[in-house]
Amino acid sequence: MAARVIDENPQLAHQHVMSAARRAGRIGVVRESLAITAYATGDFALALRELRTYRRISGSNDQLPLMVDSERGVGRPDRALELGRSVDRSTLSPSVQVGLAIAMSGARLDLGETDAALVELEIPQLNPNTAFSYSPELFAAYAEVLSELGREDEADEWLQRASRADAAIGASGDDDETVEIEEMEEDDAAALAAEAADAGDEDDEDDEDDTVAAGEAARAVAEAGLNAVDAPITDADADDDIVNEAADTAETDVEIDNVNEADTDAAASVSIADANDETEPNAASPKA
């Protein structure tokens, strides 16, 4: 249930996961989901505590990018960089490496280190000729830093590459597939545009059908594309010292137990169909 509503109503998703955490607080996927919904609602301190607990239970570094971004969210970019450097990146999957690079680049921007932010993104996955599910977000992040440096022409090129990668992935229908991207010359693009215009003049009805199909394709691409999650940098209160893992777990358990009756009533008010869905194992996953 939480995975289905997190984008539309993160608060409701958070209530569902809090309810699950009361019953199964020692299950890794529950703590992971609680961290993700806390992050989505802007509670970065809780997200960070839950992500530490999840990592201790599961032994996985898959959520390291979200941990780094949560450190940014509580206003500690220096500690975010330290955390990101604490893990050998070669042990991470390519998608996690990309998410970590984007989070580290954001921390550099928080510190005003724009040149270093660009270097953080210059990783092997920054290949304009191939596209994976993480490529549009990586290309767009690179374009943003280029723009911060005043290199607008290059920034525009990478934004176009991000758009082409997104469209290519949507057309392939498989996020795990490697898609080759060919950049068209200006003359070729003009020729294709002229051919499209001629075809439209010959048959208006076909042109209308193509317009409808293009709209449907655009919606499909939008649904399939990845959205970068950029944690707002706030002045959220957070202890300057990192508490130990046992204290994190105890503190979170107290928060869970003290949720007021209004939260319980809100979670219980969902339909019977939603309640049945809630019994199925669902894990929300971040976009990196």
- Hey, what CATH class is 76-182+220-232 in? mainly alpha
What pLDDT is recorded for position 126? 98
Q: Who has greater pLDDT, 145 or 200?
A: 145
Taken in order 125, 130, 135, 136, is the CA torsion positive or negative?
positive
**Residue 91: is its pLDDT beyond 60?**
yes
Q: What is the DSSP letter of 241?
A: S
Pair of tokens at residue 212? 């409808």
Helix (H, G, I), strand (E, B) or coil at 179: strand
Top-confidence residue, 261 or 2: 2
Q: Nearest to residue 131, comparing CAs of 160, 105, 151, 152?
A: 160
Residue 11: pLDDT band with limits 50, 70, 90: confident
Q: 252 — phi, psi (to 5°)?
A: -65, -40
The whole-chain average pLDDT of the chain stands at 73
**In sequence order, which residues have a C-beta less than 8 Å from that of residue 57 and are 6 or more positions away?**
26, 27, 28, 31
In this prediction, residue 15 carries a pLDDT of 72
3-state secondary structure of 180: strand
For residue 235, pLDDT beyond 60? no
Q: Which residue has the tokens 């358990």?
A: 253
Written as six digits, the tokens of 84 are 């990101």
d(CA 74, CA 81): 13
Mean pLDDT, range 250-270, rounded to an integer: 45
Work out the average pLDDT over 49-69. Answer: 96
Q: How far apart are CA 90 and CA 74, in angstroms?
A: 27
Domain range list for the chain: 1-73+242-288, 76-182+220-232
SS3 92: coil
Residue type at position 265: D
Mean pLDDT of 256-279: 42
Instruction: State the DSSP string of 190-214.
Output: HHHHHHHHHHHHH-HHHHHHHHHHH
Question: DSSP characters for 89-102?
Answer: GGGS-HHHHHHHHH
